[in-house]
Structure 1
Amino acid sequence: MSIKRSLARLAQTTPRQLDIASVRGALPGQVRETEHGKLHLIDEYLEPHHHHGRAPIAEALHVSTERLAQLALDPSLAGIDLLCEVFAATETTGLAGGTGTVPFLIGIGWFEDQSMRIQQLFLPELGREAPMLHWLRERVQQSSCVVSFNGKAFDWPLLRSRFVLNRVPAPVLPPHLDLLHCARRVLRSRLKSVRLVELERQVLEMYREDDVSGALIPQIYFDYLDGGDVSPLAKVIEHNANDLIALAALVAELVNHFDEVHRGDDPRDHLSYAKVAERTGDRVRARSFADAAVEGGGESACIVEACMINARMARRVGDVDDEERALLGALRAADEALRAGVQVALTQHYEHRRKDLARALEHAGGTCLAEGEDAAERRVARLERRLAQQT
């Protein structure tokens, strides 16, 4: 369900709600007098059961923060208060960043009980950023973490420069969850693009209706400043609100699929989750997802890599039998291009862990493509010498 339809329905039941997409000829929202000047604010609520595509966004309140911290590779996220997380997205006058780029629309969202509240701070004219920056600062100071998409590289450095240029004290940023990094970590292996709108389609099954292209947004704002029709800004505001909602939905979707194995997931996703678990030292989870990748019927490379993860996990706890089973599984699944690399691992396993030089020599003959002819010949010669010494 699109935000356009949700907000239209909310407008019928809640007097203070505003259907932003129906506004023509006037800016949506209202002007508030603050101690720092006038602030143009759009303030909306979503229904508790709102879905973004197939994902119920309120599930973001119930995810495991331990899994969230692992997925983000950021231990500081463990134990955060999910009711105090703030989702943030900006629309700017350019995509290059730098001091000449101005965020003219700052979207922030958080949950109040089970409903997501969305506030969008709009800049009606250049040079009046202070009120919106003070408003943002207060919200960030109250948050347990900030959730963004490419916010570490773009949004927050830009906002920090605007705080400095407008002489507004910047808030101390709490833990920052950048979902772009998580999406790359988990989904890059099967998706050609991890742009937010692409993740909505492929992961959330959400297709935006009549969405405005991000590349057009700066010019829409400049046209407004030049006295043009304000109605195109309604689409920009809707676009920004959908970005915020997508962040909540993605938190729920990515973390829940890391919390437990979903057998229907793509084996490449299982493998990616296994890699994350391995990096964070979660052996049990790494094994579970690697097993799912092996059993998922994926391509040779996926199965081989999953088996190699299982082998490493077994080796770390000294389980020689389990390591051998995993390596032999990798060998059975390997195509010609991957077989030599697996045989290197098997050669090392039999030489150093099994102390079975004969078996090591059997596999050493097939390592040439992985380590080069000279290295393979030296390995074979060394094993032959050691075998001769034994006899």
Structure 2
Amino acid sequence: MIPNLRSKLEALARESAGAGSPKGPALGGGASASDSPAAGGSCPSAAGPAGTPPGAPAAPADTPPAPGTCYVQEFFAQPGEWGKALGCTVPEAMNRPGLSRRTFEELCKQLKLAGGWTLEECLFFDTETTGLSLAAGTQIFLLGVGSFQGDRFRVAQYFVRNPAEEGDMLRRFQRDLAGRKALVSFNGRRYDLPLLESRMVLNRMQTGLDLPHLDLLLPARRIFKYRLGSCSLGNLEQRMLGTRRQGDVSGSAVPGRYFNYVNTGDFGLVEDILRHNLMDVLSMVHLLVRMEGMLESPLETAEALDLYGIGRSLAVTGDERERACYRASWRISPTACAGKSLSMTEKRRRNYGEAARLWEEMAERSMGGLMPYAELAKLCEHRTGELEKARHWTAEGLALARACGDERGEAAFLHRLSRLEKKLGR
């Protein structure tokens, strides 16, 4: 039964290799694209797919590759061209790549990664797939990888036109991994990387993916979720990076477009997907540089909730600048979250007077729920011995708990009030 199954699979592979008449040169030193994306399909112009930013692939090569070679497209961003490529204003740091060692180590500590690597040693990657699950039936049909080469940033896109080309795509990815010390993705830890590993295993390849993995979604959420809510790459692009994609294909429409391409051979269905993938890779670099600037000089951030998010991010590793971020956030626009974090930081540092002042201000502003009343009651009872003040704050907290219908809070304040009454001899 097994030999019969093997023969059927081999026959299917030969049949798939013939379908679509894949053409396209192996990836070489210069930018390249295949001679014909698919049988009956149109070939992209020398300037790349429609709407591709300047620096897109050179003219297609004349020599057709062997069957099973995936379609390859390259893009190079030169210094000073990032804004044109992304269609927005970008930080000056993107024209002189290389994040500070301090910030890289900070990000590594926050994500519990081993440090000791630089931006130039990273490989950025993003996939487009036939579905959103990690099941064996989900395939990667487009893989975009990016890396700095001197003062240029190179993005190579490997497009699979039929199943016989998947192995070639994965082998090219393996070659890109050579010499790299870290991976960078956006949500790749939970999705892209496990899927790549499973596809490599199914193709009987060694994965070699056990590198430090800087998943930008995690630090982005720590910093931006308090103001933005959604930290999807699209939302971050629009609201943090100032990028607005024109005519971009939605992620949910990508699988359907690819299946239509497989059925029709119309490469026009894929051009927008290639651009979408290219912009994802470029935006990861933009986002990383933007977060680097915010972590390196946090007090230059003008948004109160972003300052609070930076403080929370720095708190993961015990960075002393955490307190300054909370204080600046509270000064710009007092919020319950900033008040809680700043006051508890002052309490840990034994600055009880400053903590009490913050709790009193929060209570006056009706911020923080029951927390400021409970903290003031504990401080007065156990630290300063001001039992009458402790009773006052306990009664205030009890009234608020009853008004909010918080039974657990009410029980806690009643217990404290009973103890204080005994201490006061009432």
Q: TM-score, normalised by structure 2?
A: 0.78
2:370 & 2:282 partners in 1: Cα distance? Answer: 47
Q: Deviations over 1:213-259 (max 9, x none)?
A: 22222122222222331122121111100000000000111221122
Residue 19 of structure 1, aligned match among 47, 50, 59: 47
Distance change in 2, residues 1:80/1:353 (3 Å): farther
1:271, 1:289 within 8 Å by CA — same for their partners in 2? yes
2:387, 2:424 within 8 Å by CA — same for their partners in 1? yes
Greater CA deviation, 211-220 or 52-61? Answer: 52-61
In structure 2, what is the equivalent of residue 266 of structure 1?
303
Total equivalences in the alignment:
367
2:178 & 2:70 partners in 1: Cα distance? Answer: 19
1:21 & 1:140 partners in 2: Cα distance? Answer: 26
Greater CA deviation, 323-332 or 94-103? Answer: 323-332
2:359, 2:376 within 8 Å by CA — same for their partners in 1? yes
2:59 & 2:424 partners in 1: Cα distance? Answer: 82
Alignment of 1:1-391 (within 5 A): 16=31, 18-22=46-50, 38-49=69-80, 50-51=82-83, 52=86, 53-56=88-91, 58=94, 61-68=97-104, 70-71=106-107, 73-76=110-113, 78-263=115-300, 265-282=302-319, 284-298=320-334, 302=335, 304-335=336-367, 338-368=368-398, 369-370=400-401, 371-388=408-425
1:234 & 1:127 partners in 2: Cα distance? Answer: 21
Q: TM-score, normalised by structure 1?
A: 0.84
1:105 & 1:60 partners in 2: Cα distance? Answer: 29
In structure 2, what is the equivalent of residue 4 of structure 1?
none
**RMSD of equivalent CA atoms:** 3.0
1:217, 1:236 within 8 Å by CA — same for their partners in 2? yes
2:365 & 2:99 partners in 1: Cα distance? Answer: 35
Shift of 1:70: 4.2
Q: Deviations over 1:119-178 (max 9, x none)?
A: 111112113212221221232342222111111111111111100100011113211111
Distance change in 2, residues 1:157/1:353 (3 Å): same
| Greater RCO (Cα-Cα under 8 Å, separation 6 or more) | 1
1:16 & 1:91 partners in 2: Cα distance? Answer: 21
Distance change in 2, residues 1:352/1:69 (3 Å): farther
Q: Deviations over 1:182-228 (max 9, x none)?
A: 22222222224322112111111101111112222212222222233
Greater CA deviation, 200-209 or 37-46? Answer: 37-46
Shift of 1:345: 1.1
Q: Deviations over 1:346-390 (max 9, x none)?
A: 11122223333232222111122455333212201212322349x
Name the larger-Rg structure. 2
Distance change in 2, residues 1:226/1:28 (3 Å): farther
1:263, 1:292 within 8 Å by CA — same for their partners in 2? no
Q: Which secondary structure state, in structure 2, belongs to the residue aligned with residue 127 of structure 1?
A: helix
1:145 & 1:110 partners in 2: Cα distance? Answer: 11
- Percentage of identical aligned residues: 27
Q: Residue type matched to 1:217 in 2?
A: V
Shift of 1:60: 8.4
2:99, 2:118 within 8 Å by CA — same for their partners in 1? no
Shift of 1:295: 1.4
Shift of 1:102: 0.8
Q: Which secondary structure state, in structure 2, belongs to the residue aligned with residue 209 of structure 1?
A: coil
Distance change in 2, residues 1:141/1:366 (3 Å): farther
Q: Residue type matched to 2:411 in 1?
A: D
1:43, 1:118 within 8 Å by CA — same for their partners in 2? yes
2:214 & 2:77 partners in 1: Cα distance? Answer: 22
Structure 2's unaligned 5+ residue stretches are: 1-29, 33-45, 52-57, 402-407
Q: Which secondary structure state, in structure 1, belongs to the residue aligned with residue 126 of structure 2?
A: strand
Distance change in 2, residues 1:256/1:386 (3 Å): same
Greater CA deviation, 158-167 or 170-179? Answer: 170-179
2:362 & 2:59 partners in 1: Cα distance? Answer: 59
1:58, 1:115 within 8 Å by CA — same for their partners in 2? no
Greater CA deviation, 349-358 or 232-241? Answer: 349-358
1:59, 1:252 within 8 Å by CA — same for their partners in 2? no
Structure 1's unaligned 5+ residue stretches are: 1-14
1:105 & 1:83 partners in 2: Cα distance? Answer: 23
